[in-house]
A and B are shown apart, each in its own frame.
Chain A
Amino acid sequence: MRKRLVVGTLAAAAVTVPLLGSGGAQAQSVTFTLTSGSLAIAEPGAATLTAGALSGLTGTSFTGSLGNTTVTDTRGGITGWATTIAQTTAFSDGTTTIPAGNVKAWVAAPIVPTGVATVTSGLYLTQLTGLTLTGIGQTFVSATAVLGNNSATFNPSIAVTVPNDATAGTYTGVITQTVS
């Protein structure tokens, strides 16, 4: 019994009471410091699209890949994670803007995670069944049945369908991948 008391006292000493603002904080929330790891996402910033004269491609599509995206979960828990993908800035050459709905994303190769996790892009496996992007993030790759630290690398493919009335030029846009 004495041992337990000592442990309890030390634990109480280790917790921190954050200073709360005066603005009506009724419940003093006592917190402790977590020592688990982080949830990280990496990508080389080397996305490419097939090159070609745009004038000859109207109505057809550009394809390419976003580059190897790696999610590393060192939180050591049982909670899964999921990535979302969004076309946060539509492809534009300054004259023509290609709507986000003309862009599809998928992961062609099976995702082989390290650690214990089931990682999948669901039905988004080919251009035909790919996820049609919008300006808002939609769930793309998810990890379930997680037990402890895990990581997964996948290379999202994208296809951009060029509208018939597109002007010739250099198109730029931004795709955002989020993990939570």
Chain B
Amino acid sequence: MSPRRRLPWAAAAVLLLLPVVPAQAETPPPPGLGIRLLDAPTERKDDPRARVYVVDRVRPGAVLVRRVEVSNGDAASMQVLVYPAAATVEGGRFQVANRGTPGSVPQWTTVSPTSLHLAPGERAEVTVTIRVARDAAAGEVYGAVVAERPARGAQVGVALRTAVRMYLSVGQGAEPASDFRVDSLTAARDGNGRPVVLAKVHNTGGRALDLSGTLRLSDGPGGLSAGPFDATLGTTLGLGQTGPVSVALDKALPDGPWLARLELRSGQLRHAVEGRILFPATPSATSPPVVPKEVPLYEREAVVVPVAAVLVGVVALALLVLALLALLRRRRQEAGR
């Protein structure tokens, strides 16, 4: 384990040492119907997605137990249904199916209890047991643990649901690697003349991705730099799917050319690409797409920490050698006397 890897582990260990009943229990739950995941696998401690979703690699026949907490932040008591639901990942979107829609997740999963009566401000724990079928086919399975407040209102009833997403990778052996590629970068202007950078992202790995990232512009006219700008996209890309990432920029930005650097991440997976782009001069126009090239990530920690570690190691080694030499010399001198 490199020193760089140890840092987050140490941080996670410290987090674990914090009281298990946190400020959460004292502060009132957020308004309405809330849900949160209570357990995450230790091997995914560093994965931000595994802290909010059930993300797991499972073998056929495996049994997984997780807990969720459902809360009522309203001033009135609330009747809540809890159930597993199927979900789809399409067009960059994660969509939870209706109650009773068939699918692997509702077939494999049981929750207990299935209905709750929550007083104002009350929280309740629900145990989720996933028994993966012995004959389950290898691949990705999506679903959710859903808490539902049945419809309220006279003429137009409004039902509310909140859910913890589930991304299960089914198969024997190690988990398929996650990866993605940025196929193209396109500079464009929207109808209002606002410059926009569009990137086409392709999920080339074996697991679904939830992408986020930033864009920086540099090497512009007169050496100008701009950014970082936040990337927005349909949050989820399924296996083999391609989705757009768009970054809206400031209208005052000159046309360029610019060196655009896009950094995207999903969980612990990160990629950075660069390409030279030029914004069109007129609104509702698009410049030809550019194929960007992959560049290393700016990771100060990644450079500084190993370098520091190596330096410390070299100094320690030198001291050790000196001490040994001194010891040897003294022994020789003592022997010589």
Q: Compute how far the CA of A68 lies from the CA of B36 in the bound complex, rounded to whole angstroms.
A: 22
Give the shortest distance, in Å, between B64 (CB) and chain A (any CB): 6
A24 shortest CB reach to chain B, Å: 4
**0/1 per residue, A157-180, Cβ < 8 Å to B?**
010000000000011111111111
Docked complex Cα distance between A118 and B29 (Å): 23
Residue on A nearest B144 in the bound complex, by CB: A180
Q: Which residue of chain A lies nearest to B14 when distances are taken between CB atoms in the complex? A: A7
CB of A60 closer than 8 Å to a CB of B? no
Task: Determine whether A95 belongs to the interface, using a CB cutoff of 8 Å to chain B.
Answer: no
Pick 12 A–B contacts, CB within 8 A, sort by A: A10-B13, A25-B63, A27-B59, A30-B43, A33-B38, A34-B37, A35-B18, A136-B95, A139-B234, A144-B235, A172-B157, A180-B144
Establish whether residues A38 and B94, one from each chain, have CB atoms under 8 Å apart when the complex forms: no
User: Roughly how many angstroms separate A173 CA and B154 CA in the complex, as a whole number?
Assistant: 9
A42 vs B161: C-alpha distance when bound (angstroms): 9
Whether B36 and A36, one on each chain, are in contact in the complex, defined by CB atoms closer than 8 angstroms, is yes
Binding site for B on A (CB under 8 A): 4, 7-8, 10-11, 14-16, 18-21, 23-27, 29-43, 45-49, 64, 66-67, 70, 72, 74-75, 77-80, 82, 84, 86, 88-89, 91, 118, 120, 135-139, 142, 144-146, 151, 158, 170-180
- Whether the Cβ atoms of B33 and A41 lie closer than 8 Å is yes
Known contacts A38-B35, A139-B93, A176-B161; 15 additional CB pairs below 8 A are A10-B17, A11-B12, A21-B129, A25-B62, A27-B59, A32-B16, A35-B18, A36-B51, A41-B34, A45-B158, A72-B34, A136-B98, A145-B232, A173-B157, A178-B146
User: A11 CA to B154 CA in the complex, in Å?
Assistant: 52
Q: Which among A7, A30, A82, A173 is the interface contact of B13 at CB below 8 angstroms?
A: A7
Closest residue of A by beta carbon distance from B92: A139
Q: Which residue of B lies closest to A117 (CB)?
A: B230
Q: Answer yes or no: B322 CB below 8 A from chain A CBs.
A: no
Q: Interface residues of B, CB < 8 Å — how many?
A: 82
Confirm or deny: B119 has a beta carbon within 8 angstroms of a beta carbon on chain A: no
A178 CA / B31 CA spacing, docked (Å): 15
| Chain A neighbourhood of B22, CB < 8 A | 35
A179 / chain B contacts, CB cutoff of 8 Å: 161-163
Q: Is the CB of A37 within 8 A of B234?
A: no
Interface residues of B in 89-144 (CB under 8 A from A): 93-98, 129, 131, 134, 144
CB-based contact B41/A31 at 8 Å: yes
